[in-house]
Amino acid sequence: MISTATTSPPDQRRWPIIVSLGSTQTLAYGSTYYLPAILAPSMAAGLGIAVSTVFLCLSLALVTAAFLGPRAGRWVDAGYGRQVLIAAHCCYAAGLGLMALAQGPWSLAVSWVLIGLGMAMGQYETAFAVLTSYYGRAARGSITGITLIAGFASTICWPISAVMDAQLGWRLACAVWAACQLALAVPAILWALPRRPLVNHCRPETHDSGDIVDAGDTNGTWVMLVLAFLFAVTWFTTTAIGAHLPLILLGLGLGTTQAVAVATLMGPMQVAARIVESIFLRRYHPLIGARIASLLHPLGATALFIVGPVLAPLFVMAHGAGNGILTIAKGTLPLALFGPVGYGRRQGVLMVPARIGMAIAPFAFGLAVAAWGHWALTITASLTAVAGLLLFTLRARVADGAQVGNAQAAAPGHPGPAFDQGTELQALGQGPQVFAAQVDAIVAEPARPEGAGKPGMGGIDIEIDDAQPATRS
C-alpha cells in the first residue's frame, strides 16, 4: 500500500535533486537571461547593430517563453519534468550555438527565439513544478533550496562571461556556454532526477481531496488575478531596476565607484533574505512573507525620496531583500493557495503577464528614468505597494489546528483540535499577541498526511501544511 503522501524520489535523495536543479538553474539564467548585460556591446559592435537591438532580441525571447510556458507546465504535470528540463537545455545549446554563428540581426533574433523556447521549459517555474510533482505541498523547503543556489547566477556567470569576452571574443563565449548546456546541465539532470515520479502530486488522482482553492470558482479567480498582478509587478520592477540601477544611482549624485559598490549590495541581500526565509519565515504561511517582501521596495524608495542619496544603500538592500523572498513566493504561494494538482500549468499561466512585464521593462522604465531621473521609482514603488496591499485581501487559514490563545490544544499529543475546522483566522490582522499564538499553534501542530483537512467555504482559505512526506508503507 502506498499512501497519497508518498513521494518520489524518497527523502534521502532530495538534496542531490536540489543541488542538481539549483546548479542547472544557475547555468540557465547566467548563460541566457544575464548574458546581454555583459556581451551586448561586443555583439552589437561585431554585428553592426545597436546595443538596444540585442536587448530587443532578449525581449523577444521572454515573450516567446510567456506564451509557451503553460504548455510546458502541462507536460510537467503529466510527469515529464525531467524530459522537459533536458529539452530546455538542448534549446539553450541550439540558440547559443546559432548566436555564435550569427551574421546579422535576423539570425540573432532566431537564436533568441530558440533560447525563448528553452526559457519556457527550463526556468524556475519548471523546476518548482518538478519538485511539486515529487513532494506535493512539502516541496516548499526544496523550492527555497533551489533559489539559494541559483541566486548566485549573476555573481558567478557575469565574471565568467566578461573574461571569455575579453580573452576569446563574444562568439566563442556563446559557444562555450552552449557546450556547457550539453556537457554539464543535461548529465546533471539525467543523474539526479528519476524518469517519472512514483506518485505524481500534480495529478488529481493522487489526492483524496480537492484543491484548497478551486481556480474555477469566484474566490479562485480573484486569487489568480492577485497573484498574476503581483508576479507581473515584481518581475517588471526586478528587470527595470536590474537594467537601470547604476544609472539611477549616478543620477542621485553618487560617483561611478560608489554607484557600483552600492549596486552590488542587491545580490547578497537577495541571498540573505532567502536564508532568513528558509530559517524563520518557513514557520509562517507564505502569504506573510510575501506581504512583507512586497512592501520593502516602496518603503525603501519612500525613504530615498525623503532623506536623499545617503539612504541609497538602504533602498538597494530593501529592494534586494524583497525580491529575494518574492522569488521563493513565486513557487510557494500558488502551492499553498491551490495545492499541488495542476501546479505546472498554473505556474505557466501566472507567469504570462510576468514575462511580458520583464520584456517591456528595460525599454519602458528607461524612458521614465531619462525623463524623471530617480523619481521614476515612483512608478515601481506605487505598483509594488498596490500589489502588496492586494495580498491583504487574501485570508490565511489554520486547518486542524488549535484555537488562538489555546496553546494546549495544539500541543503534541493533544487528542484533537479545540475548535471547528471551519474557524477562520485573519493572519496579521488581530494584533501581535493573537498572531504570536497563531504561529505557536502552527509550529506545534503535528504533521498530517497530504490532503488532510477540508477547504473552508467562506472567504479565500489557505491551509497551513508543511508536513514532510511519508514514505512507502
Tell me the pLDDT tens digit for each residue of 17-55. 999 999 999 999 999 988 887 888 899 999 999 888 888
- pTM score: 0.73
Angstrom distances, CA of residue 117 to CA of 27, 292, 449: 16, 34, 37
Dist. CA 176–CA 383, nearest whole Å = 39
> So where are the chain's domains?
11-202, 207-394, 396-473
pLDDT digits 0-9 by tens, 335-349: 888 888 888 989 999
Grid cell locating 370: 531619462
Dist. CA 372–CA 380, nearest whole Å = 13
Predicted pLDDT at 415: 33
Dist. CA 250–CA 23, nearest whole Å = 34
Could you tell me if 314 and 304 are in contact, meaning their C-beta atoms sit under 8 angstroms apart? yes
Superfamily of domain 11-202: MFS general substrate transporter like domains (1.20.1250.20)
CA 274 to chain centre: 11
Predicted pLDDT at 433: 44
H/E element, 161: helix 153-167
Ranges of residues in the chain whose predicted pLDDT is under 70: 1-12, 197-201, 204-218, 396-473
Predicted pLDDT at 212: 52
Buried-exposed string 96-128: b where 16+ CB fall within 10 A, e elsewhere: bbbbbebeebeebebbbbbbbbbbbbbbbbbbb
Residue 104, classed as helix, strand or coil, is coil
Cis check: omega of the bond before 159, within 30 degrees of 0: no
Predicted pLDDT at 198: 63
- Quote the crossing angle between the two packed helices 343-372 and 218-251, to the nearest 10°: 30
Contacts of residue 307, defined as CB under 8 A and 6 or more positions apart, other chains included, come to: none
Could you tell me if 469 and 6 are in contact, meaning their C-beta atoms sit under 8 angstroms apart? yes
Predicted pLDDT at 466: 38
Predicted pLDDT at 199: 61
Angstrom distances, CA of residue 28 to CA of 42, 243, 319, 449: 21, 19, 23, 35
Q: CATH number for the 207-394 domain, one of 1.20.1250.20, 3.40.50.300, 1.10.510.10, 3.40.1800.10?
A: 1.20.1250.20
Residue 393: Cβ within 10 Å count: 11
Predicted pLDDT at 102: 95
Dist. CA 228–CA 338, nearest whole Å = 14
Helices within 3-50 (DSSP H only): 14-28, 36-47
Predicted pLDDT at 443: 35
Residue 9, classed as helix, strand or coil, is coil
